[in-house]
Structure 1
Amino acid sequence: MQRLAFKMKLKPGVKQEYIKRHNEIWPELKSLLTDSGISEYAIFLDEKTHNLFAFQKVDGTGGSQDLADNPIVQKWWDYMADIMEVNPDNSPVSIPLEEVFYMK
């Protein structure tokens, strides 16, 4: 099991819409993530900076960031593009974070 973390950025004033969309996550996307070995996935918001901090526990070597070619993921990106900072392909601007401490 590995732990992955990355940060993304939410556009100002869309916190409630972001929460709503994630509370209504598509069943096919949730299944894809679970089937890909993601057993835990949490996203935290720093309201002052609009930075999102994402954390995943993954069984295997890749996380959600490795599903870019999947049509379900691409559809989700398109759905979220209006409320997040995104790349030209609508993928979220995502910066991997290095784990520097872990206490078990």
Structure 2
Amino acid sequence: MVRKGIVMKVYEGFHEEYQRRHSQIWPEMVNMIHEYGAKNYSIFLDKETNTLFGYLEIEDEEKWNKSSETEICQKWWAYMKDIMKTNADNSPVSVDLKEVFHMD
């Protein structure tokens, strides 16, 4: 199991909409996330900087990276692009964080 941390940005004024969309996450998206080996997925918001911090646990980095090629992931990215900073392919602009400490 790999612990993964990422940061992304939500646009100012869209904090509530971001949360609303995730509270209504599509069942197909949840199934895909699990199918590609992820669990224990949380996203936190720093309202002052519009920074999102995501944490998830994945089985395998290579397997997880392939989830971005799925139709449902592409559809979700298109759905979210108007409220967060994205790349040309609609994927969220994100930075992987290096784990420097962990304690069970």
TM-score by structure 1 length? 0.93
Contact 1:41–1:57 (CA under 8 A) maintained in structure 2: yes
* Partner SS state of residue 67, structure 1: helix
Contact 1:44–1:52 (CA under 8 A) maintained in structure 2: yes
Deviation per residue, 1:54-95 (Å, 9 max, x gap): 000112334755422111101100000000000011110010
* Partner SS state of residue 32, structure 1: helix
Contact 2:4–2:57 (CA under 8 A) maintained in structure 1: yes
TM-score by structure 2 length? 0.93
Task: Give the length in aligned residue pairs.
Answer: 104
Contact 1:38–1:63 (CA under 8 A) maintained in structure 2: no
Q: Which has the higher helix share?
A: 2
Deviation per residue, 1:29-78 (Å, 9 max, x gap): 00000111112100000000000000001123347554221111011000
Runs of 4+ deviating beyond 6 Å: none
1:37 equivalent to 2:27? Answer: no
* Partner SS state of residue 68, structure 1: helix
**Equivalent residue for 1:5?**
5
**Equivalent residue for 1:77?**
77
Distance 2:35 2:27 in 1: 12
1:48 equivalent to 2:11? Answer: no
* RMSD of aligned Cα (Å): 1.3
Unaligned residue ranges in structure 2 (runs of 5+):
none
* 1:68 partner amino acid: S
Distance 2:78 2:47 in 1: 23
